[in-house]
Amino acid sequence: MDMRKWPRKNDPESIKARQEALGLDGTVTGIDLEPFARAQEMLTGAAVVPVSVVGPLEIELGEYEL
């Protein structure tokens, strides 16, 4: 692949070509990218961000006036 012009489409072949050009593998490329293909141009991989929940947290909904 010519490094000056990468494939811009988000079809499986173009995504794979960008991943191979960057030497990506493992978790970054192991995720199904189809749901994200229309959200970003030149989609290449995805990052998983751990999320935690702190709780239960008690809140009181009050009445407020300005």
Q: Which amino acid is at 59?
A: I
pLDDT for the residue 46:
83
The residue type found at 27 is T
- What separation in angstroms does the CA of 64 have from each of 21, 60, 61? 57, 12, 9
> Which pLDDT score, from 0 to 100, does residue 51 have?
83
Question: Quick check: pTM over 0.75?
Answer: no
> 28-42, pLDDT tens digit by residue?
788 888 888 888 888
- Number of alpha carbons in the 13 Å side-chain half-sphere of residue 64: 4
Task: Read off the pLDDT of residues 5-63 as tens digits, 9 standing for 90 and up.
Answer: 788 888 888 888 888 888 888 777 888 888 888 888 888 888 878 888 888 878 888 88
Break the chain into its structural domains and give their ranges.
1-48
Tell me the chain's radius of gyration from C-alpha atoms: 20
